[in-house]
Structure 1
């Protein structure tokens, strides 16, 4: 694990006018020192953190020495969403999780970048919630990102997503075992019927007297309960429904005309959370006013979680962006 650094932000006004007197922003960087190489910002998803590479890195198949996102060439930077519980107490930091929006997090990240002396980013990439924050960052500063790469996400939360966030919120606030039980429900959104049917094939554990799929779900519930905090889960779940909350189709089109970023949309054909259809719709809107927009689709039976599973396909998509740039420079 690389060193965990902290930036202190003071008197930060949220979108709802609440002023946070102090926000600690934790981050890690990998690869070349800040200020010496192109910067790639990686935004983590709901239960992720800033450990994006290394032995326990959640995207280590994409990021590292000699990898597609090559830490021998780039500076790879990752912030922790304040309140995600990675080396901080979310109960003290986030007394009211509904105060925050993804736009607030995007503004916090930009303030952190400014503190580090980073004005422009070679790329911003993130999956799911992290991709939604990437969109919000681009809306705030449309000319300061060279490559915008939202993965398994979209620029706005749909009614379907908002509805599922509500169900998760009710479980988190009413269950006797909230993290465990909310995770059971969430896993059914992150995967697909075909994925589970092929994995378990109705097999049973005779000793435990349960179906294997039941044991798998219960295992994931226990696993998250043992490493994640309730205040963090409530916040991260809430943030999902705020993606694009202050952006409508008109302002989205204005952004598309203003930005010079190359936008690479990466969808998953079987995603139930952020569907491929809504990503294709976004692509169709963007390409009316913008030439350097590209649509990529991961083919997988695994649904939303494919962005954490189908590394070979994702590497193939990212190779043209990151390795081609290196070759041009050389």
Structure 2
């Protein structure tokens, strides 16, 4: 069962590409103390995620909750749904009109509507981290701590290439969400992760390899809960992450952020690589940023798997 969502109605929004929207609903959930009574932590969800970040159905409940590293007794936890992710029933069909920066601007408008002038932290994984980067560049005084996890401030050529294949699968496959998800799992994990888990074993009932059975299962599960329009939009947002298209402007924009920046990479991430994050750290310098690396064979999805390592990284920030 989906939770009762709160909604903010935003009027007269114009996308970066000039598409005029008379009214758009921004849905959200709040966990912990009421707004205005505790420091606020904004959590941005990833491609197939949503605003339910903690509790029994929470996708980051190992990190967020009572007496967890991000403690809902100490912090007000706010999470918006990316409009069009389908969690609130809202659909966006014209996905090509949208960019990651549009979502960052909508989230900033949402904070303004809630009278939140500053955040203690904004944290996001994958696409959510990209949105966090965009927000911090648009509003350099927004937050004390910026924590992009398994993410980056731009989509690389490799990521854009993967997004193109995802889009083609979503537009041309007879089982679009199912098949796109199967392909995506190859980007989210690694050969070493598959080897450790499956060891070329077979599913005797289905007469196929267990790795094939696992991929088919993931395709089926997402197909049951995710719409094609949502997947197309999230994929478009992912490939459009870019705080600025002009590389010469990027250094100044990133350095304008007033927050302490905590870069969290995964050493085996094929999607948002550790190497790109290390380059960002070198650009920012140790006074502005800190760099942390999760060690895992599981690739990009390690930010959803390696909770103990992530807890260790986050604990000094939230204590």
Calculate the TM-score normalised by the size of structure 2. 0.98
Q: How much does 1:129 deviate?
A: 0.2
Q: Over residues 237-281 of structure 1, what are the superposed CA-to-partner deviations in whole Å (9 max), with x where a residue is unaligned?
A: 111111016343332221233222100000000000000000001
Task: Tell me which residue corresponds to 1:327.
Answer: none
Contact 1:2 1:30 in 2 (8 A): no
- Aligned pair count reads 318
Structure 2: distance between partners of 1:2 and 1:182: 27
SS of corresponding position for 2:60? coil
Q: Which of 306, 309, 318 is the aligned partner of 2:314?
A: 318
Q: Which moved more, 1:268-277 or 1:257-266?
A: 257-266
Q: What is the aligned partner in structure 1 of residue 287 from structure 2?
A: 291
Structure 1: unaligned runs, 5 residues or longer = 324-330
Aligned position for 2:73: 72
Choose which of 297, 301, 320 in structure 1 pairs with 2:297.
301
RMSD of the alignment, in Å?
Answer: 1.1
Is the contact made by 1:190 and 1:303 (CA closer than 8 Å) also made in structure 2? yes
**C-alpha separation between the residues in 2 aligned to 1:209 and 1:68?**
44
Q: Give distance in 2, aligned partners of 1:249 and 1:269.
A: 25
Q: Is the 8 A contact 2:244 2:250 kept in 1?
A: no
Which residue is 2:273 aligned to?
275
Q: Deviations over 1:287-313 (max 9, x none)?
A: 1xx613100000000000000000000
- 8 Å CA contact 2:134–2:243 kept in 1: the answer is no
Q: Does 1:20 align with 2:10?
A: no
Question: Hey, what does 1:52 align to over in structure 2?
Answer: 53
Q: Which runs of 5+ in 2 are unaligned?
A: none
d(CA) in 2 for partners of 1:222, 1:35:
42
Matches within 5 A, 1:80-229: 80-90=81-91, 94-229=92-227
Q: Deviations for 1:196-233, whole angstroms, at most 9, x for unmatched residues?
A: 01100000112211000000000000000001011000
Equivalent residues of 1:110, 1:137 under 8 A apart: yes
Do the aligned residues in 2 keep the contact of 1:2 with 1:29 (CA within 8 Å)? no
CA distance change for structure 1 residues 95 and 256 in 2, over 3 Å: closer, same or farther? closer
Q: Which residue of 1 aligns with 2:263?
A: 265
Structure 2 CA distance for aligned equivalents of residues 221 and 257 of structure 1 = 41
Residue 145 of structure 1 deviates from its aligned partner by: 1.2
Deviation digits for residues 163-184 of structure 1 (CA, Å, limit 9, x no counterpart): 0000000000000000000001
Question: SS of the residue aligned with 1:208?
Answer: coil
Match of 1:326 in 2: none
Instruction: Report deviation, 1:3.
Output: 3.6
Aligned-partner Cα distance in 2 for 1:246–1:297: 25
Query: How many Å separate the matches in 1 of 2:117 and 2:95?
Result: 29
Q: Is the 8 A contact 1:165 1:237 kept in 2?
A: yes
Q: Does 1:30 align with 2:20?
A: no
Native 8 Å contact 1:81 1:105 kept in 2: yes
Q: Secondary structure at the match of 1:264?
A: strand
Whether the 8 Å contact between 2:31 and 2:72 is mirrored in structure 1 is: yes
Secondary structure, aligned partner of 1:8:
strand
1:144 CA displacement: 1.6
